[in-house]
Chains A and B, each alone.
Chain A
Amino acid sequence: MRRVPSLDGSLKGWLKELQLLKSVAAKRAVPGHGPTSVDWPLGCRDLERYLQVLLRETRAAIAQGRDIDAAVKTVGLSERTRWALFDDYNGHNVIQAFKEVEWE
């Protein structure tokens, strides 16, 4: 919550797990960062949106023939004002996403 997600594993894997978690009939969830508990599944809306932007824009960058170092500078920027620590993690996230998506 509030701080930008840090992607270390699979982007598509995370999105898939999120679908599964959203189907759990829980009213509240305890996030790793931020408030002690949030409404569920509403509480994961920002996270899911960020991951989808990352996936969509990384795919678009690859389709346009952009290189990994160029993609790092452009992908996800619409999310910049919505998260703490964005500049510290977004570039790293783009690299993780890029190396996964370029093999699709």
Chain B
Amino acid sequence: MGVTRTVLLALAVSTLAALGPSRVAYADDSEAQMRAHAAQDEAERAARWQQLQQAVFGKRALADGAGVIQIEAPEHALDAALVPITLTMKSATPIKGLYVVIDNNPSPVAGHFTFGPRADPRTLKLRVRVNQYTFIHAVAETVDGKLFVSRQFVKTSGGCSAPVGADNADALKDIGLMKLHLLGPFSPGKSLQAQLMIRHPNFNGMQMDQITRLFTPPRFIRTIDATYDGAPIFHLDSDISLSTDPVITFGFVPDKKGSMQLVVRDSDNAAFNHSFAVPAG
């Protein structure tokens, strides 16, 4: 992930430089001018995705994800620092992985999930930071190595630099605390949705302390591993785009009464472990 990040960050910087200062549409722009701007925006977005696709997937083909993967996100996000997205996946060939790419974020790959034998990847929910108007691409990978893509455009901005809370010390107080909610009744062998909440500021290095005017050093979640009685549910490689206090909703198949283990590692090499009984209590 380290290498990919560096490549993508370099790519982000070079793309921004190539695009030059962003244009502003003025009220007195003629309709023809506005259409020209819109066409140029479209071309830039397509070029951006092409670059990203190559950086993340190389020469591998991406098929239209219609019927396999669907991404839902608010068209106009109400809070750029907390944009809820829902991924719905359906495939005859089992799905082994999922990439969430926020094209115009400083580090676009928000997360890469790898699903294990105890996963039910049909529905997955995340909360992300969105820095500016962007496509969010979701790419599902089936066990035979095929990739399927779908996308959603999200209008909002400023999510990456939005402060974590009123007070950084407060944000770090309960770091690593976790809660798990089972969103349905437990029945052995039956798929169950779970909501995992993790206390973590997920500082991305772009947030300014409003009093000292210094940027808070980055400290964000790098990986999350969820297992059930030792068998993997998912592994997540995450990045600076997850919202503060991440909440992830996912499906899993508990074969019998047992426990879910969670291991969260962050960029300061801190590891947080929790175990939850299933069914609860």
Contact = CB atoms under 8 A, between A and B. Distances in A.
Contacts of B82: 68, 95, 99
A72 interface: yes
B197 A10 contact: no
Given A9-B166, A72-B78, A92-B78, A102 B84 contact: no
Interface in A2-27: 9-10, 13
* Count class of interface residues, chain A: 10 to 19
Interface in A61-104: 65, 67-69, 72, 91-92, 94-96, 99, 102-103
Contacts of A13: 166
A9 B162 CA distance: 12
A38 B218 CA distance: 45
A96 B84 contact: no
Contacts of A67: 84, 125, 249
A96 B82 CA distance: 9
B79 interface: yes
Given A9-B166, A68-B127, A95-B78, A103 B84 contact: no
B74 interface: yes
A83 B103 CA distance: 37
* Count class of interface residues, chain B: 10 to 19
B181 to A, nearest CB: 8
A68 B84 contact: yes
Determine which residue in A67, A69, A92 has the highest number of CB atoms from chain B within 10 A of its CB, and name it. Answer: A69
A95 B79 contact: yes
B245 interface: yes
Nearest to A69: B84
B183 interface: yes
B199 interface: yes
Given A92-B78, A95-B78, A65 B183 contact: yes
Nearest to A65: B183
Determine which residue in B74, B82, B183 has the highest number of CB atoms from chain A within 10 A of its CB, and name it. Answer: B82
Interface string B194-214: 000101000000000000000
A58 B244 CA distance: 19
Interface of A: 9-10, 13, 65, 67-69, 72, 91-92, 94-96, 99, 102-103
17 contacts: A9-B165, A9-B166, A10-B166, A65-B181, A65-B183, A67-B84, A67-B249, A68-B247, A69-B86, A72-B78, A91-B78, A92-B78, A94-B78, A96-B79, A102-B247, A103-B199, A103-B245
